[in-house]
Amino acid sequence: MSKRKLNIAVTGLNAIDSPGPGVAVIRGLLEASSFEANIIGFAYESLEPGIYMHHLVSKTYQVPYPSAGIEVLYDRICYIHQKEHLDVIIPNFDAELYSYIKLEDELKALGISLFLPTMEQFEERHKVNLPEFGKKYNIKVPKSKAIYELSDIFDLQKEFELPVVVKGKFYDAGIAYNTEQIRSHFLKISAKWGLPIIIQEFIHGAEFNVTGLGDGLGNTIAAVPMRKQYITDKGKAWGGISIADQQMLDLTDHFIRSTHWRGGFELELMKDKKNEFYLLEINPRIPAWIYLAVGVGQNIPEALVQLALGLKVEPYATYAIGKMFIRYAWDMIVDISEFQQISTTGEL
């Protein structure tokens, strides 16, 4: 029996030292057993490597930045949909999710499906709201505070012990060991991502992550925990290993059951010296290391598409333990005419 063919649009095609999830998501989709995926890339910049990976992406369109507004994005998607007949869109950046969540019903009317957190879920898990989130759902989180002005830095030592973690509202983080380093991180991160800046208690311990998928009804469809083996200066995992940790899986189940989480996610965790887990961050989308989950037997991108289409999905029961991912970079040779085409026409 031939598999159903689906036109699936994917964002996050960049692959810098803080890579987007797009290429890894696409690899999972192309390995799906329940459908045949034709991938349409959504790119913001002309130099996103995924644009030129023609063995993965059949065609790419430039899309407007989230700052352009929802109406502009909707018009662009309508144009692309007329040409490509999209079935599903998988957005992979925190900063673009607000727009897609707001547009979900309108896109559904066009025949385009998404499977994203609700607006309430998206808002309440923000870094700025993490203390309230922890209290509401009985999950341990580090002490944190949002600051809006540089002058707020000088009062922090009354509330926090150094070092502290300085975080942007969407991305970027740095550890600060003194006031001058807090100031430096504040200026650098706020210039890129705006305000507020979040000051978070530094938890001494080992870093872990869980990626998973919730069905929106409180059920865990997938969950794969990993321990970071190699971390970049931006705090991104460049290597990791799948592990067996029932405490992490129980925490993930509790998170999904309590929030009725809808869609993919990543929990960033720190295990302290008392072997207790603290939730540092909730990323409300599929992470860049998602291909590890695919490689250990839980194809989360495939399951997310099935849920988006309203299909019944059986939860994954197992995954392979002790499998590693190691990220690497390689040089692609592409013709300058392709770069010129995507830069001038917005299509390739």
pLDDT in single tens digits along all 348 residues of the chain? 678 999 999 999 997 777 899 999 999 999 999 999 999 999 999 999 999 999 999 999 999 999 999 999 999 999 999 999 999 999 999 999 999 999 999 999 999 999 999 999 999 999 889 999 999 999 999 999 889 998 888 888 888 989 999 988 877 888 899 999 999 999 999 988 888 999 998 999 989 999 999 999 999 999 999 998 877 766 677 889 999 999 999 999 999 999 999 999 999 999 998 999 999 999 999 999 999 999 999 999 999 999 999 999 999 999 999 999 998 888 999 999 999 999 999 999
Cα 42 to its chain centre, rounded Å, is 15
2 secondary structure, DSSP code? P
Q: Where are the beta strands (DSSP E) in the chain?
A: 4-10, 35-43, 59-62, 88-90, 144-147, 164-167, 173-176, 197-201, 206-215, 220-231, 237-242, 262-271, 277-283, 324-326
Burial class of 26 by CB neighbour count within 10 A (0 to 12, 13 to 18, 19+): buried
What is the bridge-based pairing of β-strands 35-43 and 197-201? unpaired
The second-level CATH assignment, the architecture, of 4-115+331-345 is 3-Layer(aba) Sandwich (3.40)
What is the token pair recorded at 269?
């965790």
Cα–Cα–Cα angle for 195, 197, 202, nearest 5°? 170
* Domain definitions of the chain by residue range: 4-115+331-345, 143-201
**Greatest extent of the chain over all pairs of C-alpha atoms, in Å:** 67
How far is residue 19's CA from residue 13's CA, in Å, rounded to a whole number? 8
Cα–Cα–Cα angle for 307, 290, 35, nearest 5°? 40
The confidence score (pLDDT) of residue 1 equals 60
The confidence score (pLDDT) of residue 235 equals 65
* 122, 125, 129, 134 alpha-carbon torsion, rounded to 10°: 150
Residue 321 and residue 244 in contact, taking contact as beta carbons nearer than 8 Å: yes
Name the nearest CA neighbour of 167 among 192, 141, 189: 189
The confidence score (pLDDT) of residue 238 equals 81
How far is residue 256's CA from residue 265's CA, in Å, rounded to a whole number? 10
For the domain made up of 143-201, give the CATH fold.
Dna Ligase; domain 1 (3.30.1490)
What are the residues facing 277 on neighbouring strands?
Answer: 271
